[in-house]
Structure 1
Amino acid sequence: MDISVRQQDKKHSTVTVLICFLIAVIEGLDIQAAGIAAAGIREYFGLDSSQLGIFFSAGILGLLPGALLGGRFADRIGRKKVLIWSTAVFAIFTLCTVWVNSFQSLLVVRFLAGAGLGAAMPILITLASEAVSPANRGRAVGLMYCGMPVGAAILSLVASTSFGAEWKNIFYLGGLLPIIVIPIMILFLPESKEYLKAQEKVGTGAAEPQATFKDLFNTQNLARTILIWVSYFFTLMVVYIMLSWLPSLFTELGFTRKEGATAQFYFMVSATIGTVILGMLTDRWKKAYVIILMYGGILAGLFALNMASSLTQMYLASALVGAFVIGCQGVLYAFGSIVYPTEVRGTGVGMASAVGRIGAMLGPTIAGQLLAAGFGAAGVISAAIPCIVISAIFMLILIRRLKA
């Protein structure tokens, strides 16, 4: 009987992480879509660099209320239901992107698509982390989140084909794929066992009062909430600068658009590897060592981008940044699932993700303003360095407090 139960639990864990991986692949497609379609959208709508930065930020801005509400509703009515509905919202408005005919309507549909995707992300993290034992949460979240760079790398390859040359096809692909995944979620995705146990306690009257936003700021959680918010904010700012602007930064440095797309592909392939490895190290190493490694790797990559003088060096620098920037985001999501208890985990991760999305929204806009002001690619990359230093310091403080 015990063996049968363990096998069933393992099956549920595998199915959960796999389906969450598929949704993360779709997120990667969407994040990369904006950067790849940027040239076509700029020409179609007649945008300048500043407006293009606003376009990048519109979808990211939608992630903010989505992450906030998605995590909250997931704690109240269930992880699975909210994930299905948020994926449907994202699919509908991604398809709408190809049908709008003004800059203003483009921003609206990108915002609403971002809201759907933003609601999904904290649920993916929560489901993946709750599907396994606490000792394996870093690995589970890392394996789930490596779907993001996989999706982005796939889209980079699609962009090099005749199909991907038309910017509208990029968004058709991004909208139709989640529609295919939704029935799979309905049929096969199990609800979180930890959530169901918490609901059973509510039904028997044995549960604590339902957690609220205020619980993130009680005596136990206040310091860790502030620390993880700051780290999410500055890390995601740098992540989305790289995701949105890397191909354009290459053209600013004198390389061709095709070479920029190739650099983005190397960025995403190494990001996939880095996310899995860092996720595994989160479970096996001391947490402080993982933080030092990943933020040190990001800084090394940013310095390498600034100092590279040949195409080969730029490709290597892009791969180095990708391995640690995206991997770092996966580790931060894993930390969010470790920091908060079950009853407030969805809310806590959702709020931290929402705060991170503010940084993610501001990053591409600030990069666009720096480029428009003539600071060039080197100025954008240099501006990212202090953000990484601040994030590393706050994460190390958080680890020290968790130990205490």
Structure 2
Amino acid sequence: MTAANVIDVQQFINRHRFSRTQIVTLLLCFLIVAVDGFDTASIGFIAPAIGRQWALDPAHMAPVFGAGMFGLMIGALCFGPVADRIGRKTTLMVCVGFFGLASLASAWSPDLQTLLVLRFLTGLGLGGAMPNAITLSSEYAPDRHRSVLVTTMFCGFTLGSALGGILAAYIVAHWGWHGVLLVGGIVPLAMVPLLGWLLPESVRYMVARGHGAAKIGRILRRIAPAADLSGATYTVADKAPPGSPVRQLFDPRLRRGTVILWAMFFMCMLIIYLLSSWLPTLIKNTGRSLQDASLVTAMFQVGGTVGAIALGRFMDRFNPARVLSLAYIVGAVFIALIGHAAGSSTPLLVLAVFVAGFCASGGQVGGNALAAGFYPTANRATGVAWALGMGRIGSILGSMAGGWMLTAGLSLATVFEIVAVPAVVASVCVLFMQKRKD
């Protein structure tokens, strides 16, 4: 066997045209995170209907949101290491089927306690699916386009959230809140056989775990049918540190980046969930109508979608850590500006909210690509999942922090100046992110 017969699978992906297999992989991952977005948005629309039926006030309904978010955090922490042991495709199928069954069962919840348990279980599956969709997308993307492909794939979450709000309102009006949970269960369950049929396992994972050359060759031929793979053996350039996937996160080559990514994800998701949860209320308190407040808040999501794709392109062309650092510091300026513009200029307020979404929400999606590119194949799913898990802690605190600040009676300008601080911290943290040295 000569050196010419040894094929680095990432270099193989880099050399060949983007194939139909890779497009299908990204589309399926897009659909998975879209279902996640649907679930995240729709629960907010069905909560009032559940409250009316069971005679519950908002304080009693709050744990429904908390249970799902807690499940998302635990699911990310648990299923990331699982995927590095048994594979991305298998874990994705298990997680999608799991949250589909849990959502389906939620539709027949007889009381709040049962719903809380099932929402937690739904969150477990969703929390495990998202980081594995990011990981698999990253491992089928050529290096030169990895960031923009991962960030574009993740825009499925935004689309799913938008559709979740629209469809949930229609379904509740015609079939009640149970119908929304039925849709949230049936769609992912229908996707499981589709994933089994069309979704390939990560070839980088297969090489790292010592799978047979024949299996790896069959997948690579789907990417480049004309390639000569006869007698080839396969390798990946990145070397795995010793220990379990979780322990590897703190290997000397990785621990600095791990801590930085955790801090960045925590800060970004704190901002995103605080603004998503409380921006309509804060804007309405300035005297604007709820409709106007909702439309202004929608610009945060629009900005996030545009920002995800734009920042992904910049991350592929320039130093990705510096691109994100600049985005977060600009985001901090415009988050603070929201508080000063909310009581005066509507055009300035719309601009501030849009740019805040572009930088904060778009930057978080870029952070997913940064994490996927930082970790080696052997613990990539764990690295991405645990970063998202740390971010979920920030999202829980962010969802509650708006209420605390409103209760404290702070001025609107002061509230948004405080919210800008985590963006500054994220900017400083990621500025010190270094490329991993194998």
- Give the alignment's TM-score, normalised by structure 2: 0.81
Residue 311 (structure 2) aligns with: 278
Alignment partner of 2:197 out of 187, 192, 205: 187
CA distance in 2, matches of 1:198, 1:13: 20
Please report how far the alpha carbon of residue 343 of structure 1 lies from its aligned counterpart in structure 2 after TM superposition: 0.7
Q: How does 1:5-404 map to 2 (within 5 A)?
A: 10-45=19-54, 51-158=60-167, 161=170, 167-200=177-210, 211-307=244-340, 308-309=342-343, 312-372=347-407, 374-375=409-410, 381-399=416-434
Paired AA for residue 339 in structure 1: F
Cα separation, partners in 2 of 1:140 and 1:77, compared to 1, 3 Å: same
Q: Secondary structure at the match of 1:398?
A: coil
Given that 1:56 and 1:365 are in contact with CA atoms closer than 8 Å, whether structure 2 keeps it comes out as no
Query: Residues 370 and 376 of structure 1 are in contact (CA less than 8 Å); yes or no, is this contact kept in structure 2?
Result: no
Question: Structure 1 residues 259 and 44, CA, compared in 2 at 3 Å: closer, same or farther?
Answer: farther
Provide closer, same or farther for how the CA distance between residues 318 and 15 of structure 1 changes in structure 2, counting only shifts above 3 A. same
2:370 and 2:324 map into 1 onto residues whose CA distance is 11
Greater C-alpha Rg? 2
Distance 1:164 1:247, change over 3 A: farther
CA RMSD of aligned residues (A): 3.2
Residue 217 of structure 1: SS of its match in structure 2?
coil
- Structure 2: which 5+ runs fail to align? 1-6, 214-232
The 1:41–1:383 alpha-carbon spacing in structure 2 relative to 1, beyond 3 Å, is: farther
* Gap change, CA 1:193 and 1:25, over 3 Å in 2: same
Which shows bigger deviation, 116-125 or 9-18?
9-18
Higher helix share: 1
Amino acid at match of 1:388: A
| TM-score (normalizing by structure 1) | 0.87
Partners of 2:257 and 2:284 lie apart in 1 by 41
Contact (CA 8 Å) 2:336, 2:419: kept in 1 or not?
no
Distance 2:97 2:385 in 1: 19
- Residue correspondences, number: 400
The sequence identity of aligned pairs, in percent, is 32
Quote the offset at 1:100 in angstroms.
2.7
In the TM superposition, what is the alpha-carbon distance from 1:252 to its structure 2 partner?
A: 4.1
| Change beyond 3 A, Cα 1:88–1:164 | farther
AA partner of residue 215 (structure 1)? Q
Q: Counterpart amino acid of 1:322?
A: G
Tell me whether 88-97 or 77-86 shows the greater mean CA deviation.
Answer: 88-97
Aligned partners of 1:162, 1:388: CA distance in 2, in Å? 37
Q: Which deviates more from structure 2 when the two are superposed, residues 118-127 or residues 313-322?
A: 313-322
> CA contact under 8 A between 1:231 and 1:391: conserved in structure 2?
yes
**Alignment check: 8 A CA contact 1:266 1:315 kept:** yes
